[in-house]
Amino acid sequence: MNTVPVEHGLLLAATLFGLGVLGVLVRRNVLFQLLSIEIMLNAASLAFIVAGARWRSADGQVMFLFILAMAAAEVSVGLALVLRFYHQRQTVDADAASKMRG
Amino acid sequence: MNVLFYVSSVIAVVSTVLVITQTHAVHALLYLVVSLLALATVFFAFGAPFAAALEVIVYAGAILVLFVFVMMLLNVGVAAIQDRRWLQPRSWIGPAVLVIVLSAELAYALAQHQIPSAAVTTVTPQAVGCALFGPYLLGVELASFLLLAGLVGAYHLGRHDARRRAEKRVES
């Protein structure tokens, strides 16, 4: 039986999550930060899928569906905020939004 | 299934690294599509074909189209000039090579008749549906609330500008 070990799947999920965290921390472009958040959500859902495959149950894929719905809602609101931000400041630099009232 | 997993996980990691190191947003999006496709293959290797299909349809389809829309809205004026530069091979050769590797891998798996692999127990869409509308029914309702809230929020944020501009026009 040539199944993939669970550890390798979780290692891939951890690597992708770390890359997403790195992207949020390093990039100052708001769009890239949103992309990195997407990468992190993907890594989390990969961990759920791997765990669901390990215990042969559908719960992992159900959680994947919930994460998918959450990501869709998050991205729509986030991109609307990015558009507003760009119209106000004429930039997509996250450091430009350092004040609560502008 | 081992080959399927390892090759596509390497592709996923490489393209994700390229996503966060790109300077041009559209190039980063191209690499993100590749990364999502590779991740869908990984889902497939773990016996979750329904999740793999949804990953391609919803993530690589719908969510990335949203990103493309916003990027097109953000640089309206520059887009026309950039058209010529995008046609250069340097900007699309990287994602193209990764996708070719991915599809070669898919063709290999199809040729090996490994798709309904005996080694991996596949969780069918039917089982997922039964779990979703059985014990997780409350979660589905909450997800629908969340999506409605996202819709209303995005509509409100997008509409605000136009209304304020109209008010200003009325005042002046």
Which DSSP string do the residues of B14-43 spell out, in sequence order? HHHHHHHH-SSHHHHHHHHHHHHHHHHHHH
Residues of A in contact with B66 (CB under 8 A): 75-76, 79
Query: Rounded to an integer, what distance in angstroms lies between the CA atom of residue A49 and that of residue A33?
Result: 24
Residue B167, min C-alpha distance to chain A (Å): 17
Q: Which residue has the higher pLDDT, B155 or B93?
A: B155
pLDDT at B163: 60
pLDDT of res. B51? 92
| Identity of the residue in B1, B67, B70 whose CB atom sits nearest the CB atom of A3 | B1
B30 or B122, higher pLDDT? B30
Q: pLDDT digit string (tens) for B94-106? A: 888 888 888 888 8
Nearest-10 Cα torsion for B142, B63, A44, A81: -70
Q: How far off is chain A from B128, nearest CA to CA, in Å?
A: 5
C-alpha dihedral sign at B149, B66, A23, A14: positive
CA atoms within 13 A on the CB side of B87: 4
pLDDT band at A10 (very low <50, low <70, confident <90, very high): very high
CA B98 to CA B8: how far, in whole Å? 10
Which amino acid is residue A98, in one-letter code?
A: S
Q: Which of A22, A57, A65 sits opposite B132 (nearest CB)?
A: A65
Contact check, Cβ <8 Å, A35/B28: yes
| Whether ipTM exceeds 0.95 | no
Segment B82-87 shows an average pLDDT of: 59
- Select the residue from B19, B35, B132 to test the A interface by mutation, using most A Cβ atoms within 10 A: B19
- A64 closest CB neighbour out of B25, B51, B62: B51
Q: Check residue B113 and give left, alpha or beta (phi > 0: left; psi -120 to 50: alpha).
A: left
Residues of A in contact with B69 (CB under 8 A): 79
The mean pLDDT value of chain A amounts to: 88
Among A79, A86, A87, A92, which would you mutate to test the B interface (most chain B Cβ atoms within 10 Å of its Cβ)? A79
